[in-house]
Every structure is written in structure tokens, then in C-alpha cells.
Chain A
Amino acid sequence: MDVGACRLCLVEIAGSNKLVPACTTQVADGMVVATTSERLQRYRRLLLELLFAERNHVCAVCVSNGHCELQALATNLGMDHVSFPYTFPKLEVDLTHRLFGMDHNRCVLCGRCVRVCWYVEGAATKNFSGRGAGSRIISDLNQPWGESRTCTACGKCVHACPTGALFEKGTTVGEMQKDRGKLEYIVTAREKKQWIV
């Protein structure tokens, strides 16, 4: 079961007026599910616009330009502009780690880094702090990442991250290509004893 963090997987279920996130909804016998419709596209685009308006996503100067899941969603959902006023929050960039950087301007709070850190690596370095728009991804007890005593520097969080929020130091515009396939490889090997070729 997934966590329902971004709600971009909203679906319609026949007989209900409510839109529900597919990732947290249990399928049932006879359930009729619509995954695409005019209405769903409209709501998904609004949700996506809110994600863009909430932080400072500047594709042109981002390490993940051209390899970003958020940028690709804008293309796929036909988002040609954001109709909400941008909030332009002032956010930190943590470059204290030896190998990796964290730019909160680009974070969408999907929590993939937290989950991969806890449930795949088992280090429990990455966590959430705060609520709502004040939410942040933190390391350990909200200390500079480079001072974390639990981080194993495995880099799984970097490759789980859908945007340029987590990146390898030394990469510049468009150079940070994530490889989520490696995470799938590790998990499948561990859980199913199958090694994806």
C-alpha cells in the first residue's frame, strides 16, 4: 500500500462522487474505475499547478532539467502555465553532505526519500518535520545532513527523488539523471530472490 502523498493518481469510481487516490484505495470485486476523464485531467492539472506554486521550481537552471518527473507531468497533463500566484518561499539548500545535496526549493514532499531510507536502506536518516506548507524533509533530528551519524551515504534517496531536490554534488544543469530501476532491482532481489536483468 502506498501513502497518498501527492494525490496525482486520483481516479473516479462508479457510484461515488468522490475522487479517490488510486494508490491508497483497495480494489473490490465489481468496482468500475475510470483512470482518465476530462474531470480527472482538470483536477490533476490543478494539483500539479499547486505543487509548482508552492516552492521555487526553475527548470531552466535545475540539475534535473530534462530528467524530472515533475517537469514530465507538466508536459503530460498539458500544463502550459500556473494559474495560482507563486509563493516564492525562502528555502534552504543543504550542501553539508560529502556526496549529496538537498535543495528544498525543488522538493514536492512526496516522501520517497524518507520511505526508501527507512524501509529499503533501514537507516532512518530522512524524516518529515512540520505540517502543511511548513513541512520539510530533515536529516536525523533536523541537523545538517553532513553531520548525520545514521546516513550510510548509500544514495538511494537521491535516486528515489522525482525532482532535482536530492542530487549528487558536482552535477550541473540537466546532468542529474536518476536511476529508480536500481532501487527496484534491490527490492525485487531481496523480496522475491529475483534479479532483474
Chain B
Amino acid sequence: MDRLKIATVWLGGCSGCHMSLLDLDEWLFELAKVADVVYGPLVDTKEYPAAADVCLVEGAVANTEHVELMHQIRQRTRVLVAFGDCAVTGNVTALRNPLGSAAPVLERAYLDPANLRPALPHEPGVVPPLLDRVLPLQEAVPVDFYLPGCPPPADRIKAFLQELLAGKAPHLTGANLRFG
């Protein structure tokens, strides 16, 4: 059997889900026997590969770069997983949504506390503009599976990946299905 190509991506989130992934400890060796990690913050690859089997998406869709990247990833990925509460619900990343737009957030961060040349970041092509509304992953692209948790504990990630590796549709229940 061909080795599985697993990708991970870090959108608007705190990287806690990736830390939890590393928390799999020695089981990562088991994973490495059957799969390669082909893209993500944990590997040094700039371009998303032409085809990946699984992509774990941490974080909510918060800026225009996230939107473009996710459209590319969706086209090139067989199984797309919303990985953690930010991807599934928007969670902490989406706490700004009730403010209605990106403007109040940027003003609070870059104008209110600044006492020397306050300015909003404006670098077209370099700094991607924030979306006015942070999107849970499924509001941006079709999602195949959901792995909630803030972060999902390592055991839950393992249970999920084991089912996926066995060619089954992962189905989390009980203590393995909890937000927060």
C-alpha cells in the first residue's frame, strides 16, 4: 500500500492543536511507519503538494490568505478535517465577530495603544487583510470530518487518526466528542 500523505495547516488559531498533535509522543513513530507529513508548520515545505490524502486544518478562516489557501487545499486534498474548535466553530478566533467588522479590532490593536506614529498595517501582497467575519472552516470550504476540542486531547486525535488509517469514517462519541 502507498504511504499516506498527511498535511496539516495552521490558520487563525493559537497552534495549541498542533502542540496536542505532538503530544501523541511515541505514537508518532507508529504514524511515521504508514504516513508522511507532507505540508504544514511542522515541515519545511512552502508549496502545498499537488495531492494529499488527509489535511488537518487548525484554526478559523480569518484573512484573505486563509481563504485562498483553503480553496487550493480543498482541491488538492481527499479528506479535509476541521481540527479543533477554532476550525469547527470559530471559537476564540471568532470572538471578534459580534463587533461586526475587522476595523474595531485593528483600531484596538494598532491605533488605541500606540503613542508613536499610530498606523494600520497596509502592505498589499505582504500582509493579508482580515476578513470582516471570521469563518468556521465549513463556511469557507466543504469539510469531511470534524475533530472538536480546545485543543483536542492527544488520545482523541489518536482515536480519530486510527479510524482514518483503518479506512473507516471516524465517528467520535462520548468523552471523545466535546467542545472546549
Contact = CB atoms under 8 A, between A and B. Distances in A.
A81 B180 contact: no
Contact of A58 (B91, B133, B136): B91
Given A58-B91, A71-B179, A86 B97 contact: yes
Interface of A: 52, 56, 58-62, 65-66, 71, 74-75, 78-83, 85-86, 88-91
B177 A58 contact: no
Interface residues of B, number: 30
Q: Which secondary structure dominates chain A's binding surface?
A: loop
Given A81-B138, A90-B99, A74 B94 contact: no
Contact of B177 (A59, A65, A78, A85): A78
Contacts of A60: 85, 91-92, 150, 179-180
B174 interface: yes
A36 to B, nearest CB: 15
B173 interface: yes
Interface of B: 82, 85, 88-92, 94-95, 97-100, 133, 136, 138-139, 143, 146-148, 150, 172-175, 177-180
Contact of A86 (B89, B99, B146, B148): B89
B98 A80 contact: no
B141 to A, nearest CB: 13
Contact of B179 (A56, A59, A78, A91): A59
8 contacts: A60-B85, A60-B92, A61-B95, A80-B88, A80-B146, A81-B82, A86-B89, A88-B133
A59 B177 CA distance: 13
Nearest to B180: A59
Contact of A71 (B138, B143, B146, B178): B178
A81 B148 contact: yes
Contact of B90 (A75, A86, A90): A86
